[in-house]
């Protein structure tokens, strides 16, 4: 069998990192190239067990650096691109939107040009349900692939912009693309600035957990490994030009999520601290993933099994998240939320 070259951008981050390991273990006949700038969110220690494998390669580069990206594609002639690299935190996009436009919009366009130049078999653009904006609290309403794009934060606006560029490269140049729009992920190696790992790490250290507003905002949670399996399916079976929503019907209020973690760890709910609401805070996200299910995907974790596995992982891997919060993040949350 001829070996295929797969470029995974953002493979030092949370979801991209899980996807790198998933592909290395599942498809030894693929050569995996992990391209990452190693921003604050990128960390290679998670790949210690695979870094000596012959089919794993790491490239440190900025996806927005056109010359480097074009020459890398000319040299390697990738078959597949799975594009995760992004600025991904809504709160950061509220304080500093510029880098979101550079990385998420310009970076995606540079990759699209490079993919077009060498004629890739497939370009999978990993996007988010946040491009659809927000739903109200009516539990019978869901985002479908036909829901209009109405992003509310600079983060989701930059992701929606990149989605439109991906679509345009398919319509204009016939580039074989798919766009995936997944709900909130959780699982191993989730950076501890996001709600679930932030809560687990702070509760384990007996520190207050900041909940924005009244805690009634709803997110639809999917275990990262179910997301990886969905992307694998889309990469190989997705119909060119199509968008696929990904979600497992695990809607929870933020308060429910935080209380579940506190109770699982046997700690007191007094650790909860309600703080000032996020600007433009989206009320509710909920995904209809019927289209992807018809392609052959279904989630393997419920929220209960997934959160139990994730809490256990954080208990077993304290060294990984401690080095982050005790290093460059020392004092960050205290300052940001006054907790």
Binding residues for ligand TYD, rule: CB under 6 A, are 90, 184, 194-195, 198, 210-212, 217, 219, 254, 278
CB of 202 to ligand TYD, least distance (A): 9
The whole-angstrom separation of Cα 20 and Cα 13 is 10
CB of 23 to ligand NAD, least distance (A): 15
Picking from 166, 59, 35, the residue whose alpha carbon sits closest to that of residue 112 is: 166
130 is catalytic: yes
List Cβ neighbours of 113 (8 Å cut-off, separation of 6 or more): 66, 70
Q: Which does 161 bind (CB under 5 to 8 A by kind): ligand TYD, ligand NAD, none?
A: none
List Cβ neighbours of 174 (8 Å cut-off, separation of 6 or more): none
Q: Which does 154 bind (CB under 5 to 8 A by kind): ligand TYD, ligand NAD, none?
A: none
The whole-angstrom separation of Cα 22 and Cα 232 is 9
Query: Among residues 34 and 104, whose Cβ is nearest to ligand TYD?
Result: 104
Which residue in the list 132, 155, 189, 314 is annotated as catalytic?
155
* 101 binds ligand NAD per the rule CB under 6 A: no
List Cβ neighbours of 117 (8 Å cut-off, separation of 6 or more): 70, 73, 74
* 37 binds ligand NAD per the rule CB under 6 A: yes
Which residue in the list 87, 130, 193, 220 is annotated as catalytic?
130
Picking from 273, 269, 275, the residue whose alpha carbon sits closest to that of residue 208 is: 273
334 is catalytic: no
Q: Judging by beta carbons within 10 Å of its beta carbon (0-12, 13-18, 19+), is residue 203 exposed, middle or buried?
A: buried
Q: Which does 39 bind (CB under 5 to 8 A by kind): ligand TYD, ligand NAD, none?
A: ligand NAD
Q: Which does 259 bind (CB under 5 to 8 A by kind): ligand TYD, ligand NAD, none?
A: none
Which residue in the list 129, 163, 220, 251 is annotated as catalytic?
129
List Cβ neighbours of 320 (8 Å cut-off, separation of 6 or more): 45, 46, 189
62 is catalytic: no
CB of 278 to ligand TYD, least distance (A): 6
Task: With beta carbons less than 8 A apart as the criterion, state whether 295 and 244 touch.
Answer: yes
Query: Among residues 46 and 194, whose Cβ is nearest to ligand TYD?
Result: 194
Catalytic residues: 129-130, 155
């Amino acid at each position: 069998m001829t070996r295929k070259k797969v470029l995974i951008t953002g493979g030092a981050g949370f979801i991209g990192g899980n996807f790198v390991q998933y592909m290395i273990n599942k498809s030894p006949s693929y050569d995996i190239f992990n391209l990452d700038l190693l921003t604050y969110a990128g960390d290679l220690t998670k790949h210690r067990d695979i870094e000596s494998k012959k089919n794993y390669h790491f490239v440190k580069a900025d996806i927005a650096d056109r010359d480097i990206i074009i020459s890398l594609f000319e040299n390697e002639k990738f078959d597949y691109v799975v594009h995760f690299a992004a600025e991904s935190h809504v709160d950061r996009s509220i304080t500093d939107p510029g880098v979101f436009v550079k990385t998420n919009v310009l970076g995606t366009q540079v990759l699209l040009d490079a993919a077009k130049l060498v004629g890739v078999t497939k370009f999978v653009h990993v996007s988010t349900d946040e491009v659809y904006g927000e739903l109200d609290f009516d539990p019978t309403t869901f985002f479908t692939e036909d829901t209009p794009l109405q992003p509310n934060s600079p983060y989701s606006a930059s992701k929606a912009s990149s989605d439109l560029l991906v679509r345009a490269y398919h319509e204009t140049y016939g580039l074989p693309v798919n766009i995936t729009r997944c709900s909130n992920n959780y699982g191993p190696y989730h950076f501890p600035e996001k709600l679930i790992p932030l809560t687990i790490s702070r509760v384990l250290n007996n520190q207050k957990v900041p909940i924005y507003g009244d805690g009634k905002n709803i997110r639809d949670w999917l275990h990262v490994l179910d997301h990886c399996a969905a992307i694998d399916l889309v990469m190989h079976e997705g119909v060119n030009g199509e968008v696929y929503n990904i979600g497992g019907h695990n809607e929870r209020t933020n308060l429910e999520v935080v209380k579940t973690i506190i109770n699982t760890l046997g700690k007191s709910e007094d650790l909860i601290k309600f703080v000032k609401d996020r600007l433009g805070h989206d009320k509710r996200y909920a995904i209809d993933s019927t289209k992807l299910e018809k392609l052959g995907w279904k989630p393997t974790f419920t929220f209960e099994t997934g959160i139990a596995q994730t809490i256990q992982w954080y208990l077993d891997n304290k060294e990984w998240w401690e080095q982050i919060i005790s290093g460059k993040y020392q004092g960050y949350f205290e300052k940001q939320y006054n907790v």
